[in-house]
Amino acid sequence: MSLRFIGIDPDTKTADSPTVWVDQENHELVFQGWKPGAELEAECAAFEVPGHAVGIPDDEAVIRIPARMVHMIREACDAAEPADDR
Protein backbone atom coordinates (compact mmCIF):
# COMPACT_ATOMS: atom_id res chain seq x y z
CA MET A 1 0.00 0.00 0.00
CA SER A 2 1.27 3.44 -0.87
CA LEU A 3 -0.05 5.80 1.81
CA ARG A 4 0.28 9.53 1.34
CA PHE A 5 -0.09 11.46 4.59
CA ILE A 6 -2.42 14.44 4.16
CA GLY A 7 -2.85 15.81 7.65
CA ILE A 8 -3.63 15.38 11.31
CA ASP A 9 -6.15 17.22 13.46
CA PRO A 10 -4.53 20.58 14.21
CA ASP A 11 -5.92 20.42 17.75
CA THR A 12 -4.19 17.10 18.42
CA LYS A 13 -2.62 16.75 21.80
CA THR A 14 -0.59 13.65 22.65
CA ALA A 15 -3.33 11.01 22.49
CA ASP A 16 -6.07 12.14 20.08
CA SER A 17 -5.00 12.04 16.49
CA PRO A 18 -7.70 11.98 13.80
CA THR A 19 -5.67 11.63 10.62
CA VAL A 20 -6.25 11.67 6.85
CA TRP A 21 -4.24 9.67 4.29
CA VAL A 22 -4.69 8.67 0.66
CA ASP A 23 -4.01 5.14 -0.54
CA GLN A 24 -2.44 6.17 -3.85
CA GLU A 25 -2.46 2.67 -5.29
CA ASN A 26 -6.21 2.10 -4.78
CA HIS A 27 -7.31 5.75 -5.00
CA GLU A 28 -9.01 5.57 -1.61
CA LEU A 29 -9.27 7.91 1.34
CA VAL A 30 -8.08 6.47 4.65
CA PHE A 31 -9.22 8.00 7.94
CA GLN A 32 -8.30 7.53 11.55
CA GLY A 33 -10.94 9.03 13.78
CA TRP A 34 -12.71 8.76 17.06
CA LYS A 35 -14.98 5.81 17.77
CA PRO A 36 -18.61 6.84 18.03
CA GLY A 37 -20.51 6.48 21.27
CA ALA A 38 -23.06 3.70 21.46
CA GLU A 39 -25.95 6.10 20.76
CA LEU A 40 -24.40 7.52 17.56
CA GLU A 41 -23.37 4.09 16.29
CA ALA A 42 -26.91 2.76 16.90
CA GLU A 43 -28.39 5.76 15.07
CA CYS A 44 -26.09 5.17 12.09
CA ALA A 45 -26.87 1.44 12.10
CA ALA A 46 -30.62 2.11 12.09
CA PHE A 47 -30.44 4.65 9.23
CA GLU A 48 -32.30 3.43 6.16
CA VAL A 49 -30.83 4.03 2.72
CA PRO A 50 -32.89 2.81 -0.24
CA GLY A 51 -31.37 -0.30 -1.79
CA HIS A 52 -29.10 -1.07 1.16
CA ALA A 53 -29.46 -3.30 4.18
CA VAL A 54 -29.94 -1.63 7.53
CA GLY A 55 -26.97 -1.97 9.85
CA ILE A 56 -23.21 -1.69 9.71
CA PRO A 57 -21.47 -4.61 7.99
CA ASP A 58 -18.76 -6.38 9.98
CA ASP A 59 -16.04 -5.09 7.64
CA GLU A 60 -17.11 -1.43 8.00
CA ALA A 61 -16.92 1.09 10.85
CA VAL A 62 -18.38 4.44 11.84
CA ILE A 63 -15.79 7.02 12.80
CA ARG A 64 -15.95 10.69 13.75
CA ILE A 65 -13.71 13.33 12.17
CA PRO A 66 -13.77 16.96 13.40
CA ALA A 67 -15.15 19.51 10.93
CA ARG A 68 -11.94 21.54 11.32
CA MET A 69 -10.33 18.85 9.12
CA VAL A 70 -12.56 19.50 6.10
CA HIS A 71 -9.73 21.20 4.19
CA MET A 72 -7.60 18.06 4.63
CA ILE A 73 -10.43 15.86 3.38
CA ARG A 74 -10.78 18.09 0.30
CA GLU A 75 -7.04 17.79 -0.33
CA ALA A 76 -7.28 14.01 0.07
CA CYS A 77 -10.16 13.88 -2.42
CA ASP A 78 -8.07 15.75 -4.98
CA ALA A 79 -5.06 13.51 -4.33
CA ALA A 80 -7.09 10.29 -4.59
CA GLU A 81 -8.79 11.16 -7.87
CA PRO A 82 -6.84 9.83 -10.84
CA ALA A 83 -5.55 12.66 -13.05
CA ASP A 84 -7.48 11.37 -16.08
CA ASP A 85 -10.79 11.64 -14.14
CA ARG A 86 -10.41 15.39 -13.50
Q: What is the pLDDT of residue 85?
A: 63
Distance CA 46, CA 38 (A): 12
Q: What is the pLDDT of residue 37?
A: 96
For the entire predicted model, the pTM comes to 0.83
The low-confidence residues of the chain, meaning pLDDT below 50, are none
In which order are the strands placed within the sheet that holds 19-23? 3-8, 19-23, 28-32
Q: What is the pLDDT of residue 81?
A: 87
Q: What is the pLDDT of residue 83?
A: 66
In contact, 72 and 80? CB cutoff 8 Å: no
Q: What is the pLDDT of residue 13?
A: 78
**Average model confidence (pLDDT) for the chain?**
91
Q: What is the pLDDT of residue 24?
A: 92
